[in-house]
Amino acid sequence: CVFEGPQTAGTPPLDRRHWPHVVAGAVCVWGVAAFCQQLDPSAIGTCSGWGASLLLSGARVPQIRHILRSRRVAGLSPALFGLNICGNVAQMAAVVAYSADGYYLAAQMPFLLGCGAPIILDAIIVALIARFSATPPKPTPPVQIPQAQDRRGPYV
């Protein structure tokens, strides 16, 4: 284990398998920042919107992979993901309701994708929570305690 810090219930420690995701996220942020420095100030919002939507959408993928591999959903709240879905739907509706102009929607595409992709990924997580929390745990066999036959045995 690389990082041994305080852990909450259900949070796996950060080990070597997580570092590629951390490094990829840092490289994406660095690349977006370097690209934005070459643009005019009006494009910085669009550029940061694309970066945020990529990072936000990519953050759910390792969690989905972990749930599928471990089949454990302890500590995950379906209400939290449900409220997140409601918030993203409301944000998408607000952007679309403001104007149905094609140029406006094209300019708002990073924000629409930043809301739309987490809706799908959070719905997958809610479905996995429903699937794996309904599975009862495997029963453990009862422990057999040896009984002494007479007073001469080793369990006297």
In terms of pTM, does the model score above 0.85?
Answer: no
| Mean pLDDT along residues 33-53 | 71
| Mean pLDDT along residues 122-131 | 92
What is the pLDDT, as a whole number, of residue 86?
Answer: 94
Q: With 0-12 CB in 10 A as exposed, 13-18 as middle and 19+ as buried, what is 57?
A: middle
pLDDT tops 50 at residue 2: no
pLDDT tops 70 at residue 33: no
- CA 7, 11, 15, 21 torsion-angle sign: negative
Mean pLDDT estimate for the chain: 77
In this structure, what token pair is assigned to residue 154? 């080793």
CATH code for residues 37-133? 1.20.1280
Higher pLDDT, 110 or 38: 110
Q: With 0-12 CB in 10 A as exposed, 13-18 as middle and 19+ as buried, what is 124?
A: middle
What is the pLDDT, as a whole number, of residue 3?
Answer: 43
